[in-house]
Amino acid sequence: MEVGTEEHPYTSKLTITMHGNISSPYLPIFGNKCIAVKESTLDMHGVKREPTWTVMNETSLPGATEIKLTGQVDWVAGEEIAIAPTGFNPREGEKRIILAIDKSNPDIPVVTLDAPLDYKHFAMIQYYGDDFIDMRAEVGLLTRNVKYRGDPETSAPNQYGATIFLHSEGDDSLIARLEYIELTDVGQAFKIGRYAVHFHMIGAVHKSYCRGFGTHQSFNRAFTLHGTHYMRLINNVAYNVKGHVIFIEDAVEKKNLIQ
């Protein structure tokens, strides 16, 4: 399966929607409602986004309809962002749509949100002598031009979304080059092995990577590496994920890059 290439990403808009439920026909090992990859190559390349995430430039209080970012972004109105929680409650992350973005000062873009914030999001660097802790809330871009999702009608009510399951027996027996794609309504809750993206018992995957993802509303993790080595997970954003976001399953996995 090919959606663009590394050299020539897919530049139009594409949404791949997977339908099905827990009782749908089931592929042995791979399951259902999935892209199953065995002894083959999966290429999905959306338009590169820079950056996939940044941090807030100053603290925002409940009721705020604007936030200030740090550094230049290519984000535009109509796209969806996630703002990380900074309090004691991890459920205080928030998702908003960009109504407008003022880049007159490119180093401190000002984003107008589609709805006021419900929570405080702290953004300061705290110094302790020569040491410091960067406490600025992260802001991640979720929107991509290539989207992979479970059907919106049944996935969320049943917590049964789409998956990408990759399994071949033997080093480099498959290739998955996935970058700058959006995953939503993915993962299948309470099902072993049915994660949003699952590299399963392959061995070395020198030619594979996942980078620049915008993953949100996953009902079972975001990335799982099981019996897989030399994998690269780079500059990914994940929001509203049930369970571990990045799951290294057996502790035998080695030489993986998570950046």
Separation of alpha carbons 63 and 77, rounded Å? 20
- Average pLDDT over the chain, rounded to whole? 98
Separation of alpha carbons 255 and 203, rounded Å? 11
pLDDT tens-digit readout, 52-108: 999 999 999 999 999 999 999 999 999 999 999 999 999 999 999 999 999 999 999
Residue 96 sits in the same domain as residue 205 = no
Residue 126 sits in the same domain as residue 249 = no
Mean pLDDT score, 36-56: 98
Structural domain harbouring 235: 2-48+144-258
Mean pLDDT score, 178-193: 98
Which of 141, 157, 184 lies at the terminal end of a domain, its last residue? 141
Give the per-residue pLDDT at 12: 98
Tell me how many domains the chain contains: 2
Residue 132 sits in the same domain as residue 156 = no
- What's the chain look like in SS3? CEECCCCCCCCCCEEEEECCCCCCCCECCCECCEEEECCCEEEEECCCCCCCEEEECCCECCCCCEEEECCCCCCCCCCEEEECCCCCCHHHCEEEEEEEEECCCCCCCEEEECCCCCCCECCCEEEECCEEEECCCEEEECCCCEEEEECCCCHHHHCECEEEEECCCCCCCCEEEEECCEEEEECECCCCCCCCEEEEEEEECCCCEEECCEEEEECCCCEEEEEEECCEEECCEEEEECCCCEEECCCCCCCCEEC
Separation of alpha carbons 98 and 107, rounded Å? 18
Which of 141, 166, 194 lies at the terminal end of a domain, its last residue? 141
Residue 218 sits in the same domain as residue 192 = yes
Which of 141, 167, 201 lies at the terminal end of a domain, its last residue? 141
Q: What is the band of 36 on the pLDDT scale with cuts at 50, 70, 90?
A: very high
Q: What is the pTM of this model?
A: 0.96
Residue 113 sits in the same domain as residue 131 = yes
Residue 24 sits in the same domain as residue 77 = no
Q: What is the band of 194 on the pLDDT scale with cuts at 50, 70, 90?
A: very high
Q: In what order do the strands lie in the sheet with 53-55?
A: 53-55, 138-141, 80-83, 94-102, 110-113, 66-68
Mean pLDDT score, 162-191: 98
Give the per-residue pLDDT at 250: 96
Q: Two tokens at 88?
A: 């004691």
Give the per-residue pLDDT at 131: 96
Separation of alpha carbons 6 and 20, rounded Å? 31
Residue 158: what are its φ and ψ, rounded to 5°? -95, -5
Residue 168 sits in the same domain as residue 99 = no
Q: Are 200 and 36 in contact (CB under 8 A)?
A: no
pLDDT tens-digit readout, 119-165: 999 999 999 999 999 999 999 999 999 999 999 999 999 999 999 99
CATH number of the domain to which 119 belongs: 2.40.30
pLDDT tens-digit readout, 210-219: 999 999 999 9
Residue 154 sits in the same domain as residue 247 = yes
Residue 164 sits in the same domain as residue 132 = no
